[in-house]
């Protein structure tokens, strides 16, 4: 993730630029606030993504020679825009164009919208200390607050309709007004139905099976969807966009998010990983006749895969966040056609014989997105825990598993920092490898590739 902002500038993982990325702008006009969201992105770009008090985050995705970059989040002190709504397909139908806004937070209000018109979901702040609750409301999760015993700071509303429901009860005109004013539960339940593919005209309070808080006193039970969306549009245009435009344009436009490439250390010998038949077929075709592959298939191996730390394992503050990403797990050593696959070992990685029957040789052109961790610490800590348990039980608790998993995850470092002192080094690749960086060393059915 790349971040730019007037008060914060952070450069996270660098990725090898195999091909030039297509920058995607918000172009949808599905909702009333879509146009102003697109204008906000373009005005920030004119200012090199740097406006005081605003942070911009980017997301890269795609594969092969079809890679895209888009704005992922735009955040200020009391507002946030999250872009991840599908607004079309990219050529070849492999990837969606997902650059439209899907979540907007403004002071005391939040809305989520979707391309299929499901939802929307709307949240209303009902706490009594906005200054202290602002950051949590803008950036925090809103899930089962009552069930989890969290403070009552928001109410949740879902899309509903004011037409006749399936039981024939009419809630047009006076019926709708009564539902709003009285909070009559029978009336509210009746107008919570929706029509597939059609935007609900109402946003009706839901306690989500009593897992969320209910309105109290004169707090609203129902909103008009179009009125709520217009309020978001006005705020974005009158406050956020106005603030951005008031920032002077720079004298020079910076090159779009350029990142330098890191040389791969000469001290590390060749790497290898395991792959499946489709991986081997793609690599061989791509190296010999890349034009026979779709643009999205013109790559070597994908860097996403098993995580060093599962998302459900708590971080005690000692584990680098990169450990929660997905990796291509690799071993160190030269391999060729005669190297028996059974003789190869990637520490911490179990090879699935039915889908990892090929050995792939890897010669990285850059060190970008490549890390190393010590699996020995995992084995060592797990043995210590079992020794302490003895014969008292035969299973480990979740906390104990998390303990030795963290022991390994703490050791993850960029490959350029590795001094060769790990007992069981495992190489973790967090980017896509180009066709020039990989080669099929051996595997079954090679005559059919």
**89 in a structural domain:** yes
Do 313 and 405 meet the contact criterion of CB atoms below 8 Å apart?
yes
Are residues 145 and 280 located together in one domain of the fold? no
pLDDT at 197: 75
pLDDT over 80 at 34, yes or no:
yes
How do beta strands 22-24 and 2-5 pair? unpaired
Sequence-distant (6+) residues with CB within 8 A of 73 are 55, 56, 57, 80, 81, 82, 83
What is d(CA 344, CA 359) in angstroms, rounded to the nearest whole number? 9
The first and second tokens of residue 280, run together, are 């081997």
For the residues 182-205, what does the mean pLDDT come to? 70
The C-alpha atoms of residue 54 and residue 240 are separated, in whole angstroms, by 10
With tokens 């200020």, the residue in question is 76
At 121 the three-state DSSP class reads: strand
pLDDT tens column, 365-375? 999 999 999 99
Question: Where are any strands of DSSP class E within 285-437?
Answer: 306-307, 326-332, 358-362, 370-374, 413-414, 425-429
276 and 240 together in one domain: no
Q: Give the percent of the chain with pLDDT over 70.
A: 86
Tell me the C-alpha distance between 271 and 370, whole Å: 11
Residue 253 within a domain: no
Could you give the CA distance from residue 104 to residue 228 in angstroms, rounded to a whole number? 12
Judged by phi (left if over 0) then psi (alpha if -120 to 50, else beta), residue 433 lies in beta
Confidence check: pLDDT of 379 > 50 = yes
pLDDT of 312 higher than 60 = yes
Q: What are phi and psi of 412, to 5 degrees?
A: -65, 130
With vertex at residue 351, the alpha carbon angle to CA 373 and CA 359, rounded to the nearest 5 degrees, is 90
CA 185, 231, 126, 218 torsion: positive or negative?
A: negative
In a shared domain, residues 15 and 90: yes
Residues 345 and 217 in one domain: no
- What is the maximum alpha-carbon separation in the chain? 82
Answer whether 82's CB lies under 8 Å from 112's CB: no
Whether 183 has a pLDDT exceeding 50, the answer reads: yes
Residue 261 has a pLDDT of 83
In a domain, 258, yes or no: no
Per-residue pLDDT at 165 exceeds 80: no
pLDDT of residue 191: 54
Enclosing domain of residue 146: 2-245
Neighbours of 251 (CB within 10 A): 5
pLDDT at position 415 over 90: yes
Q: Say how many Å lie between the first and final Cα of the chain, rounded.
A: 36
Q: What is the pLDDT of residue 16?
A: 39
What per-residue confidence (pLDDT) applies to 158?
95
Residue 428 β-bridge partners: 329, 371
3-class secondary structure per residue, 11-56: ECCCCCCCCCCEEECCCCCCCCCHHHHHHHHHHHHHCCCCECCEEE
Identify which of 365, 347, 354 has the alpha carbon closest to the alpha carbon of residue 426: 347
As a whole-number percent, the residues of the chain with pLDDT over 90 amount to 76
Identify whether residues 83 and 39 lie together within a single domain. Answer: yes
Does residue 335 share a domain with residue 220?
no
Q: What are phi and psi of 292, to 5 degrees?
A: -85, -10
Q: Do residues 240 and 284 both lie within one domain?
A: no
For 71, residues 6+ apart whose C-beta sits below 8 A from its C-beta are 26, 41, 44, 56, 57, 58, 59, 83, 99
Please, which pLDDT band fits residue 251 given cuts at 50, 70 and 90?
A: confident
Residues 286 and 235 in one domain: no
Q: Which two tokens stand for residue 188?
A: 């509210």
**pLDDT at 304 (0 to 100):** 83
215, 315: one domain: no
Instruction: Enter the pTM of the model.
Output: 0.72
- Token pair 């079309």 is found at 88
pLDDT for 17 equals: 39
- The model's confidence at residue 8, banded by pLDDT at 50, 70 and 90, is very low
Tell me whether residue 264 is in a domain. Answer: no
In a domain, 266, yes or no: no
Write out the H or E segment, with its range, that includes residue 244. helix 242-245
Question: What's the rounded mean pLDDT across residues 193-219?
Answer: 90
Classify residue 257: in a domain, yes or no: no
Residue at which a domain ends, from 245, 261, 291 = 245
- Residue 221 domain-assigned? yes
Tell me the C-alpha distance between 426 and 412, whole Å. 9
Please give the backbone phi and psi of residue 96, each rounded to the nearest 5 degrees, phi first: -85, 155
Read off the tokens for 277.
Answer: 């038949």
pLDDT at 13: 33
> CA angle, 57 as apex, 19 and 114 as ends, to 5°?
95
Q: Are residues 55 and 203 in the same domain?
A: yes
Judged by average pLDDT, the poorest of 107-111, 379-383, 422-426, 442-446 is 442-446
Within a domain: 251: no
**Rounded mean pLDDT, 399-410:** 95
Q: Tell me, yes or no, whether 280 and 416 share the same domain.
A: yes
425 is written with which tokens? 């080094």
Residues belonging to the chain: 449
Q: Report d(CA 432, CA 171) in Å as an integer.
A: 55
For residues 49-66, average pLDDT: 93
- Do 231 and 320 lie in a common domain? no
163 band by pLDDT with thresholds 50, 70 and 90:
low
Nearest to 82 by CA among 33, 29, 131: 33
Total domain count, the chain: 2
Q: Do you find a cis peptide bond into 40, omega within 30 degrees of 0?
A: no
- Residue 217, pLDDT > 80, answer yes
């Amino acid at each position: 993730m790349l971040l730019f902002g007037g008060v914060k500038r952070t450069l996270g993982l660098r990725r090898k630029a195999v091909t030039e990325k297509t920058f995607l702008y918000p172009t949808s006009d599905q909702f009333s606030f879509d146009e102003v969201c697109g204008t906000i992105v373009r005005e920030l770009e004119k200012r090199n993504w740097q406006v005081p008090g605003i942070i911009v985050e980017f997301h890269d995705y795609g594969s092969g020679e079809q890679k895209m970059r888009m704005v992922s989040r735009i955040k200020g002190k009391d507002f946030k825009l999250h872009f991840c709504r599908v607004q079309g397909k990219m050529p070849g139908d492999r990837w969606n164009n997902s650059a439209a806004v899907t979540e907007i937070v403004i002071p005391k209000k939040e809305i989520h919208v979707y391309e299929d018109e499901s939802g929307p979901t709307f949240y209303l702040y009902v706490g009594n200390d906005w200054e202290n609750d602002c950051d949590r409301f803008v950036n925090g999760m809103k899930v089962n607050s009552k069930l989890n015993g969290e403070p009552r700071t928001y109410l949740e509303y879902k899309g509903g309709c004011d037409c006749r429901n399936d039981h024939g009860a009419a809630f047009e005109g006076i019926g709708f007004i009564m539902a709003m004013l009285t909070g009559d539960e029978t009336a509210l339940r009746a107008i919570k139905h929706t029509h597939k593919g059609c935007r609900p005209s109402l946003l009706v309070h839901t306690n989500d099976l009593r897992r969320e808080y209910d309105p109290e006193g004169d707090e609203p039970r129902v909103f008009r969807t179009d009125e709520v969306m217009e309020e978001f549009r006005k705020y974005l245009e009158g406050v956020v966009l106005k603030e951005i435009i008031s920032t002077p344009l720079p004298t020079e436009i910076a090159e779009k998010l350029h990142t330098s490439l890191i040389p791969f250390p000469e001290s590390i010998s060749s790497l290898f990983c395991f792959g499946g038949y489709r991986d081997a077929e793609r690599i061989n075709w791509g190296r010999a006749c890349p034009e026979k592959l779709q643009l999205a298939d013109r790559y070597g191996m994908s860097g996403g895969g098993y995580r060093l730390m599962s998302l459900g394992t708590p971080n005690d503050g000692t584990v680098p966040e990169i450990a929660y990403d997905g990796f291509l797990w690799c071993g160190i050593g030269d391999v060729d056609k005669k190297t028996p696959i059974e003789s190869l070992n990637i520490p911490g990685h179990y090879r699935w014989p039915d889908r990892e029957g090929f050995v792939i040789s890897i010669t990285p052109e850059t060190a970008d997105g490549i890390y190393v961790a010590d699996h020995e610490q995992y084995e060592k800590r797990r043995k210590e825990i079992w020794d302490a348990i003895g014969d008292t039980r035969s299973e480990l608790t979740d906390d104990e598993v998390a303990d030795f998993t963290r022991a390994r995850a703490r050791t993850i470092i960029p490959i350029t920092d590795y001094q060769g002192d790990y007992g069981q080094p495992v190489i973790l690749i967090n980017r896509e490898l180009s066709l020039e960086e990989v080669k099929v060393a051996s595997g079954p059915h090679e005559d059919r590739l």
